[in-house]
Amino acid sequence: MTTMAPDTGSYEAVFDAAVAADERIEPRDWMPDAYRASLVRQIAQHAHSEIIGMQPEANWITRAPSLRRKAILMAKVQDEAGHGLYLYSAAETLGTSRDELLDKLHSGRQKYSSIFNYPTLTWADVGAIGWLVDGAAITNQVPLCRCSYGPYARAMVRVCKEESFHQRQGYELLLTLSRGTEAQHAMAQDAVDRWWWPSLMMFGPPDGESAHSAQSMAWKIKRHSNDELRQRFVDICVPQAESLGLTLPDPDLRWNEERGHHDFGPIDWAEFHEVLRGNGPCNDQRITRRRQAHEDGAWVREAAAAYAGKHRDTQGEAGA
Ligand SMILES: [Fe+2]
Ligand SMILES: [Fe+2]
């Protein structure tokens, strides 16, 4: 036990040096309050996105066209629940609780990714989500495997492996539809037409308008800017769309020899902000369903807590 007041200045110097040397910050290390708060915000938002993201796809489990597709989709949706668990656990290492975070989600004080406020109208949407939404998630998350906060970085390693399976199943589903009947091809194209722009919005606002970006990059929580990652994603998708035999709904999309990247058309940020404000097509539906699922699961949490309590008591007796 220290009798002197802690010298925050020297703690801060140790923290800064660790970040500069690309070392990992671990839960028991000293960290600035703002770093902790920023991580809680980001990891919570990420965790909420994983579990809310189960809804649009779960919508198709009962209507999957074959047993094989149903088994794949069920596995994928379960993976997303698992991602939520790793991430809530990572957030808990920062001194918050899962109850507190879920409460903030349910009361609208914490956000989840806007992409999940769009509806899944046809079976092809399951393919488009896997290919584009999980694809965008991977592009965002691979650099997070090198995030300065240890528990978050380690959670991302496993998440990314599973996301790449999600991306491939979506691609394979779309390829099957694209090579199928005329109606199936049209359904695949329609899904890509609807999911393309919202996927680009997943990288967040342009660099100049991104509220937390600069500080997150200085702390090495974030490794690349929103626009940089968005460009990377577009460059990856263009040849994949060609192989799929589908077109991306952007007349301005073309290769720019000089930049060595694809140019693309303007993003409708007004739409993004509307969805963010709660006015997307499914915002109310998603949060109502989430609250209901939480209430429906109350007995499971109570039973688990009672069981753990009983287990502790018997262990206590055995140890006495
Ligand atoms: Fe996920
Ligand atoms: Fe996923």
> How many Å lie between the centroid of ligand 2 and the Cα of residue 35?
27
- Residue 31 CA to residue 23 CA, distance in Å, equals 13
> How many Å lie between the centroid of ligand 2 and the Cα of residue 99?
23
- What pLDDT shows up at residue 182? 98
Both structure tokens of 263? 């140019």
- What pLDDT shows up at residue 133? 98
- What pLDDT shows up at residue 218? 87
**How many Cα atoms are found within 13 Å in the side-chain-facing hemisphere of 97?**
3
Q: Which residues hold their Cβ within 5 A of ligand 2, which is an ion? A: 134, 163, 166
158, exposed or middle or buried, with CB in 10 Å at 0-12, 13-18, 19+?
middle
Ligand having the closest approach to the CA of 47:
1
- What pLDDT shows up at residue 210? 77
Q: Which residues hold their Cβ within 5 A of ligand 1, which is an ion? A: 50, 80, 83
> How many Å lie between the centroid of ligand 1 and the Cα of residue 133?
10
Ligand having the closest approach to the CA of 163:
2
- What pLDDT shows up at residue 201? 97
Query: DSSP labels for 163-191?
Result: HHHHHHHHHHHHHHHHTS-HHHHHHHHHH
CATH of 16-269, one of 3.40.718.10, 3.30.70.260, 3.30.565.10, 1.20.1260.10: 1.20.1260.10
Given a contact cutoff of 8 angstroms between Cβ atoms, the answer to whether 78 and 125 are in contact is no
- What pLDDT shows up at residue 320? 52
Taking the chain (320 residues) in consecutive chunks of 10 residues, what is each chunk's mean pLDDT? 60 93 95 96 96 97 97 97 96 96 96 96 98 96 94 95 96 98 98 98 90 85 92 98 98 97 97 94 96 96 95 72
- What pLDDT shows up at residue 212? 78
